Amino acid sequence: MSNASTSQKIVSVSAKQTQALAGQLAKKILTSQTRAGALALALKGDLGSGKTTFVQGLAKGLGVKGRITSPTFVLMKRFKNFYHFDCYRLQRPEEILQLGWQEIIANPQNIIAIEWPERIKKFLPKETIYLNFKFMDKNQREIKIGKTAIFMVK
């Protein structure tokens, strides 16, 4: 769990724990080095696996004032330099470009959380950090954090 080149797997036993984990990661992001472009987090996983719940904890940890909800019919929500995308209802990947996507990902100040990133795979920044959410039972979710130097939570 301490090597920056390995991925991490965590079993969360409550929505609260998932948010707390995200909060920890938010702190790491805030103290991380400057990047060439935005910091993008791609949150993969089935419906109800905890992606939005995670984004709530992330936003709180980043100091974002505003309520994070399931965008559902809203593809994007912006809170200053924090962006929450939910691509579930996207018909074609190119639709994301109409939202100013290229400018958003080019700005190193921006932090972007993307649910259903599979839908816009070809437009994701190369340095995107991937998280995988798996439903285990009612309150258990397995959360896998892809290889990154930023996200060592222990």
Chain positions contacting Mg ion, by CB under 5 A: 51-52, 70, 115
Tokens 């995200």: give the residue. 22
Nearer to ligand ATP, 3 or 139 (CB): 139
Q: Does 3 bind ligand ATP (CB under 6 A)?
A: no
- From first CA to last CA, the distance across the chain in angstroms is 6
HSE-up of 9 (CA within 13 Å, CB side)? 3
Tokens 């709530």: give the residue. 56
Residue nearest to Mg ion (CB): 52
Segment contacting ligand ATP (CB under 6 A): 40-48, 89-97, 105-113, 117-125? 40-48
Residue nearest to ligand ATP (CB): 50
Please state, in angstroms and rounded to a whole number, the distance separating the CA atoms of residues 49 and 142.
9
Nearer to Mg ion, 35 or 60 (CB): 60
Please state, in angstroms and rounded to a whole number, the distance separating the CA atoms of residues 30 and 59.
11
Chain residues in the site for ligand ATP (CB under 6 A): 12-15, 17-18, 45, 47-53, 70, 115, 133, 139-141
